[in-house]
């Protein structure tokens, strides 16, 4: 029988609570415990919703600075769930989502969908960021695709950046939409988890079309785009690689070299041979996609 | 909310732009506690930020034509705490809202019942600083019923109430609104009575309520009249707002009124109170206004370089040159 959680829920809940405990005062801890008891006794949706909304009033919204050990413990415990740049209210909301009984699949989904439907901005960030931890992971695919259509920057970031859920569960069209939209809205795409693993030919083709549109409009193209194209360079796209290879911008040249290096297409390999220095830099690690991302100033 | 008024030919002619007032208020900050940004453009947000407007409250109101289902109310409320809040932040403006069933639509009782049911989902949200704008329009029994029900809701949630007073039969409607609030045990200090004029202000202040004035061309207060009011009544418990919406209205009414007060020799402390501080004092009784957030929302890092061109992180909107014929 399918289990609600695809990771050790109790362990992760305890890890999250330990962080909350350490970073909040006794007043907010007492309040949370009291809310938790009320929830266990009443199983009331309204109580669950009200607490979710009220959390920042009790915890405050300070940015958490967590030791790397704690961050990586959580990553290991839950398929790469990443608590970097979390505020205390967001982390507490994440924990709270794990407190609603999960055994009844429909009831859980209905309750949490209700939170999504009436969520304010910060609540949306907390909800989408918590996707990797929600029970019944198959149930949130449409919700995630819906979130990718959001125009609210912080909401998009919560879904796209450092979030392992989309790569694990989205189907290809939704995944491609996510990557496209991330490039389109100028997000630091290197922070998309599963970027290389889920690269695909259809996405590469769409991105090349997108690059052509940008060029036709006299606009620049994010060099990181070619990272998604690298594995799929072919006769049709080779002229584009040659174009950025000859770019006046060093960062575009770097992207061309990297794309050629990671391409299995022989003419691309041959192009890289024209610059033994670039090839050496890549082999030594002096030139890499992360370096390109750093140069772009992505956060 | 706007309503029609006799216009003259002169009102319809294009007028020259006078930006000189901006110099009078340079460095001042303003709080507009009543503005319907849903109906406004990004140009307005930019102009408001430039004029020193730091934070705003968007009361829930009616959208110019009646809604027919509860879902459109839900989406509207949710846009006030979501999309509109984000849109404001792109211009460095902190956006709050009040949530409520407006008086006009209270007259559709079946719908009103359904809206009452979803209100608790929204009034406890972060950044919801009151129940509003509620009160009377035509002063019908249905309006009274839902006004009363929402006063109870506000009391329970310990939130301030933002009262819309009617255009027609205003004086009587204002009195009645206050009587009913008292009857329900609300503390007048928790109630902001909006759209006052020379006829209503004295009683509102005497009874201990907050008196808000809407500077709205043709139909509500003009700011010259507002100057006289402050000269006569001072600044205690008085605040001004624009109530700018889909009608001919002015989202810069608060800074313009401050400039006119300055020009008229009103003490800058009075100006500060009626265009900024009093609204914060009144609505922060919700526990939902933290002035430190006014700064946070401004911290939009414009220095990040992307590919040689500036990228506006945090979603800030780039500026365009309005006078250029070329659009890129």
Residue B14 has pLDDT above 80, yes or no: no
- pLDDT greater than 90 at residue B325: no
Are B309 and A220 in contact (CB < 8 Å)?
yes
Helix axes A121-129, A141-148, angle to 10 degrees: 130
Q: CB distance A249–B308 less than 8 Å? A: yes
**Does residue B299 carry a pLDDT above 80?**
no
Q: How far is CA B204 from the centre of its chain?
A: 19
- Minimal-distance CA residue of chain A relative to B308: A296
Contact predicate B68/B109, CB 8 Å: no
Closest CA to A118 of B82, B49, B132, B189: B82
Beta carbons of B125 and A53 less than 8 Å apart: yes
- A121–B82 CB contact, under 8 Å: yes
Taking only the tens place, the pLDDT of each residue in B148-180 is: 999 999 999 999 999 999 988 999 999 999 999
Report chain A residues whose CB lies below 8 A from the CB of B83.
151-152
d(CA A145, CA A186): 19
The strand order across the sheet containing B191-193 reads B30-32, B53-59, B94-99, B128-135, B161-164, B191-193, B210-214, B238-241
The answer to whether B106 and B112 are in contact (CB under 8 A) is: yes
DSSP string, B163-176: EEPPSTTHHHHHHH
Kindly give the confidence (pLDDT) of every residue in chain A, 299 residues in length, as a single tens digit, with 9 standing for 90 and above: 789 999 999 999 999 999 999 999 999 999 999 999 999 999 999 899 999 999 998 999 999 999 999 999 999 999 999 998 899 999 999 999 999 999 999 999 999 999 999 999 999 999 999 999 999 999 999 999 999 999 899 999 999 999 999 999 999 999 999 999 999 999 999 999 999 999 999 999 999 999 999 999 999 999 999 999 999 999 999 999 999 999 999 999 999 999 999 999 999 999 999 999 999 999 999 999 999 999 987 55
| Confidence band for B303, pLDDT divided at 50, 70 and 90 | very low
Q: Which residues make Cβ contacts (< 8 Å) with residue A138, sequence separation at least 6?
A: A169
C-beta of residue B118 within 8 angstroms of C-beta of residue B69: no
pLDDT attached to residue B305: 35
pLDDT at residue B315, as a whole number: 55
For B23, residues 6+ apart whose C-beta sits below 8 A from its C-beta are none
Classify B309 as helix, strand or coil: strand
pLDDT at B322 (0 to 100): 73
Which of B96, B288, B307, B326 is most worth mutating to test chain A (most A CB atoms within 10 A of its CB)? Answer: B307
**Predicted ipTM of the assembly:** 0.77
In chain B, what are the domains?
28-287+298-315 (3.20.20.140)
DSSP classification of residue A63:
B
Reduced to 3 states (helix: H, G, I; strand: E, B; else coil), residue B238 is strand
The SS3 assignment for B53 reads strand
Are A119 and B82 inside 8 Å of each other by CB? yes
Could you tell me if B307 lies within 8 Å of chain A, comparing CB atoms? yes
Q: What is the DSSP letter of B221?
A: B
H or E stretch at B54: strand B53-59
Confirm or reject contact between B315 and chain A (CB < 8 A): yes
In this predicted model, what pLDDT tens digit does every residue of B16-51 receive, in sequence order?
556 688 888 999 999 999 999 999 999 999 999 999
Length of chain B: 328
Residue A125 vs residues A142, A150, A175, A195, B49: alpha-carbon distances, Å: 17, 11, 19, 21, 26
Under 8 Å CB pairs connecting chains A and B tally to 68
Q: How many CB atoms lie within 10 A of CB B309?
A: 9
Helix A266-273 with A276-284: angle, nearest 10 deg: 100
**pLDDT at residue B311 is higher than 60:** no
Question: Who among B86, B118, B313 is closest to A152 (CB)?
Answer: B86
pTM above 0.80, yes or no: yes
> How far is residue B282's CA from residue B289's CA, in Å, rounded to a whole number?
10
Which residues of chain A does B328 touch, with a Cβ-Cβ cutoff of 8 Å? Answer: 218
Distance CA A269, CA A280 (A): 13
| Kind plus residue range of the DSSP H or E element containing B130 | strand B128-135
Query: Exposed e or buried b for every residue in A37-68, given b needs 16+ CB within 10 A?
Result: eebeeeeeeeebbbbbbbbbebbbbeebebee
Look over chain B and give the mean of its residue pLDDT values, rounded to a whole number: 90
Rounded to an integer, the average pLDDT of B136-149 is 96
């Amino acid at each position: 029988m399918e289990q609600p959680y695809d990771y050790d829920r109790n362990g992760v809940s305890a890890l999250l609570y330990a962080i909350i405990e350490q970073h909040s005062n006794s007043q907010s801890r007492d309040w949370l415990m009291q809310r938790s008891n009320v929830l266990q006794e009443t199983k009331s949706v309204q109580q669950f919703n009200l607490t979710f909304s009220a959390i920042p009033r009790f915890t405050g919204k300070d940015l958490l600075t967590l030791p790397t050990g704690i961050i990586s413990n959580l990553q290991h415990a839950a398929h790469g769930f990443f608590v970097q740049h979390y505020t205390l209210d967001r982390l507490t909301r994440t924990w709270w989502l794990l407190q609603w009984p999960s055994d009844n699949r429909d009831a859980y989904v209905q309750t949490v969908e209700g939170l999504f439907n009436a969520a304010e901005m910060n609540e949306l960030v907390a909800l989408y960021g918590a996707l990797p931890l929600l029970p019944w992971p198959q149930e949130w695919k449409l919700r995630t695709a819906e979130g990718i259509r959001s125009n609210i920057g912080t909401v998009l970031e919560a879904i796209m950046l450092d979030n392992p859920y989309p790569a694990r569960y989205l189907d290809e069209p939704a995944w491609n939409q996510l990557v496209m939209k991330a490039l389109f809205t100028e997000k630091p795409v290197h922070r998309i988890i599963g970027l290389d693993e889920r690269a695909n030919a259809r996405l590469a083709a769409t991105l090349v079309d997108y690059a052509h549109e940008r060029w036709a409009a006299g606009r620049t193209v994010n060099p990181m785009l070619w990272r998604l194209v690298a594995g799929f360079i072919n006769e049709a796209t080779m002229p584009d690689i040659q174009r950025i290879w000859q770019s006046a911008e060093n960062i575009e040249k770097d992207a061309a070299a990297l794309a050629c290096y990671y391409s299995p297409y022989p003419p691309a390999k041959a192009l890289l041979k024209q610059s033994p220095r670039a090839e050496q830099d890549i082999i030594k690690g002096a030139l890499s996609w992360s370096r390109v991302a750093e140069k772009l100033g992505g956060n | 909310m706007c309503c029609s008024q006799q216009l003259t030919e002169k009102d319809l002619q294009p007028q020259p732009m006078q930006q000189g007032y901006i110099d009078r208020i340079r460095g001042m900050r303003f709080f507009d506690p009543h503005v319907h940004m849903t109906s406004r453009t990004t140009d307005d947000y930019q102009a408001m930020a430039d004029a020193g407007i730091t934070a705003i409250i968007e009361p829930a109101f009616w959208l110019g034509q009646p809604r027919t289902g509860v879902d459109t109310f839900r989406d509207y409320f949710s846009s006030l705490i979501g999309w509109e809040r984000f849109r404001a932040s792109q211009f460095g403006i902190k956006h709050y809202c009040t949530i409520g069933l407006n008086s006009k639509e209270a007259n559709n009782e079946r719908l009103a019942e359904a809206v009452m049911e979803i209100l608790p989902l929204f009034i406890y949200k972060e950044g919801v600083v009151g129940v509003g704008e509620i009160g009377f329009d035509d002063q019908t029994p249905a309006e009274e019923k839902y006004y009363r029900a929402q006063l109870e809701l506000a009391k329970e949630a310990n939130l301030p109430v933002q009262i819309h007073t009617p255009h027609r039969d205003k004086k009587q409607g204002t009195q009645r609104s206050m009587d009913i609030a008292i009857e329900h045990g609300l503390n007048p200090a928790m109630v902001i009575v909006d759209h006052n004029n020379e006829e209503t202000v004295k009683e509102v202040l005497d009874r201990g309520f907050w008196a808000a004035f809407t500077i709205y061309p043709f139909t509500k207060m003009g700011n010259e009249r507002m100057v006289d009011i402050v000269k006569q009544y001072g600044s205690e418990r008085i605040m001004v707002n624009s109530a700018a919406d889909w009608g001919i209205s002015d989202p810069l009414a608060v800074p313009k009124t401050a400039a006119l007060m300055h020009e008229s020799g009103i003490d800058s402390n009075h100006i500060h109170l009626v265009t900024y501080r009093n609204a914060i004092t009144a609505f922060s009784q919700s526990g939902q206004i933290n002035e430190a957030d006014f700064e946070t929302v401004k911290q939009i890092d414009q220095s990040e370089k992307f590919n040689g061109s500036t990228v506006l992180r945090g979603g800030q909107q780039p500026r365009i040159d309005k006078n250029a014929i070329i659009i890129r």
